[in-house]
Each structure stands twice: as C-alpha cells, then as structure tokens.
Amino acid sequence: MHRTAYVILLLTMLFWAGNVIAGKLAVGHVSPMFLAMARWGLALPVLLALGSGHLPKDMKLLRRHLPYLLLMGTLGFTAYSVAMYCALLYTSAINISIEQGGMPLLVFVASFVLFRTRVGVAQVAGFTLSFAGVMLTALHGDFRRLFALDMNFGDALMLVAVVSYGLYTAALRLKPKLHWSSLMAALCFGGFISAVPFAVAEAALGSMILPDWQGWVIIGFVVLFPSILSQILYIRAVEMIGANRAGLFVNFMPLWGALLAVLILGEAVHLYHGVALAMVLGGIMIAEYGGHRMATREASTTGPEADIR
C-alpha cells in the first residue's frame, strides 16, 4: 500500500510541476488571464459531476460558508494562477519551480501570524535557509541586486503568487466539514468568477490572446492533470498514508519542475539554481525534522488523547 501511495504522490507532484511547464508553453498561444479563467471554468462542470452525489447534502454548509469559500477560491486559485502565468512571461520555468519550494515557508509564517502556531528553533532555522534559497533564485544568484532593488519582474510576481497560496493554505484550517468534491467545486467556482474580471480587463487592454490549437491543448492538460486528476490522486494518497507523510512529497515539486524545464523547454541550468534548490530542500527537511520532534515531545507530555480529532 505504501509503495502505491508513493507512486501516486510522485505522479501528483509531476502533474503540479507540469502546470509551470504548460504555463511557459502557453506564452504566445493563450494569454495568462484567459488561461486562468478557462482553467477553472472548464474544471468546474467536471467537479460538479464528480460531486453530484454529495452536493445536495452539503448545500446548507456551502451556503453558510459561501463568502469564505469564494475568498479562498480567489486567493488560492485565481490570485496564484494569474500571478504565476504572468510571471512566466518574464522569467524561466526553472526559477518558478524553485520559488514554488518557498510555499511551506509562507504557510508556516501565515499559520504563525493568523493562528499563533507554535514553532521551534529548528523550524525557524530551516525556513530561514529555505527562504534564502528562494531569494537567491529570485535575484538570479546575486544578493547585491536586493540592495539595488533589481529583481526580475517575473520573479517578483512569483513571490506574490507564493504568498497568496501560503495564506490560502494556512486559512484552509478554517474550512467547513464538507466532502472533498463539494469543497473543490466551491473553491473552483470562486476561482472562476474571480478570474472573469481579470480576463475582461485583459481584453479591454488589448492583451488577450485567444487560444490556437496549441493553446487549447495546454488548457486541456491544465484542466485535466494539475486541476482535477492531481487533486483526486493526492486525496487518495492522504487516505492511504496520512496527511503529514503525504505533505512531505510537495518537496518533489521544484525537483520535477526544474527537470521538466531542462528536458522539455531546454532551459539552461546555472550554479545558483543548484545551490538554491539545495537550500530550499535542505531548509524544509530541517524544519520538518524540528516540527516532528516538537510534535513527539508534546504527544509524550500530553498523552495520546491530545491527538484525537
């Protein structure tokens, strides 16, 4: 069972990393705002069909928590997608992939600010190292650019995307107890309706590129794999080995992304990419180790009943 779960998780991270490659391939074939709108607009009916048996039961909770769900869809789906797809107009897919590795750091910071989640010294050290790796990537290997305020616009946009998704992930702690398909459909609905104004503005500015055949292939891939299939696979893997162990596999996303960028896009790898990737992954490993030790100590002092939910 564990081996199956590992394969599923590796495929899930591959699909999520593929979203970055698809976004880069979309340049010139479909504009970022249209891509974001189409992604969630086409995924929505599929998710509604998958959740048709649970939506009627969850409708009361959905109505009660509709403002929260729409906000989460806007923050985690639209804001992240729009910022990332726009970032790919200006920077490399390798950079975007490594910068994605900073998401656990932002989740950690947002959880501490919003919920005062306890942190240990190892976690602070690990996430500091991880953040330094993200910044090294964003500054293209030269920290002197920070003092000169010289950062690639695409890398700056990706940092906005990472912050947005970090806030979204931390705030999911407040999500209502819905079936996963109902929750995904509601978030997707929020993502779609909040993406429409961006697409309208893009068209008004004369920047919209309607998809050609390659654009539609990219949209189809983004809808099927990163938006729908990956979510189903991830949920299945969590059922098999638990959320904590499954969550560690997110660290494979920058690795997959960098590898795909080289193999498919032919992007060049620089020394700072390797150093930054090692810093990001090493920092996350230190933080995870510190968090595991802290959780173990708390469980031993409070007893097993403290972990019952």
Place of tokens 């490993």: 285
Would you list the DSSP string of 163-178? HHHHHHHHHGGG--S-
pLDDT at 234: 83
Q: Calculate the dihedral angle through the C-alpha atoms of 83, 14, 50, 167, rounding to the nearest 10 degrees.
A: -40
pLDDT at 291: 63
Please say whether the beta carbons of 101 and 276 come within 8 A.
Answer: no
Burial label for 49, CB within 10 Å (0-12, 13-18, 19+), is exposed
Can you tell me the distance from the alpha carbon of 187 to that of 80, in angstroms, rounded to the nearest whole number?
13
Place of tokens 């180790």: 289
At residue 39 the predicted structure's pLDDT band, cuts being 50, 70 and 90, is very high
Please say whether the beta carbons of 219 and 23 come within 8 A.
Answer: no
pLDDT tens digits along 84-139: 999 999 988 888 888 887 777 777 777 777 777 666 777 777 777 877 777 777 67
Residues composing the chain: 309
DSSP state, residue 91: S
Is the pLDDT at 221 greater than 90? The verdict is yes
The percentage of the chain sitting over the pLDDT mark of 70, rounded to a whole number, equals 84
- Nearest CA-CA partner of 252 in 237, 271, 265: 237
CA angle in degrees (0–180, nearest 5) for 248-277-280: 55
Three-state DSSP at 84 gives: helix
Three-state DSSP at 139 gives: coil
Average pLDDT, the chain: 83
Q: Calculate the dihedral angle through the C-alpha atoms of 48, 53, 57, 60, rounding to the nearest 10 degrees.
A: 10
Can you tell me the distance from the alpha carbon of 155 to that of 161, in angstroms, rounded to the nearest whole number?
10
Three-state DSSP at 301 gives: helix
Q: What is the mean pLDDT of residues 224-246?
A: 80
Three-state DSSP at 152 gives: coil
**CA 122 centroid distance within chain:** 24
**CA 161 centroid distance within chain:** 9
For the chain, the structural domain boundaries read 2-307
Would you list the DSSP string of 182-247? HHHHHHHHHHHHHHHHHHHHHHHTT------HHHHHHHHHHIIIIIIIHHHHHHHHHHHH-HHHHH
pLDDT tens digits along 145-173: 655 555 678 888 988 998 898 888 888 88
Three-state DSSP at 141 gives: coil
**CA 42 centroid distance within chain:** 19
Between 262 and 37, whose confidence is greater?
37
Report which secondary-structure segment, H or E, holds 124.
helix 121-138
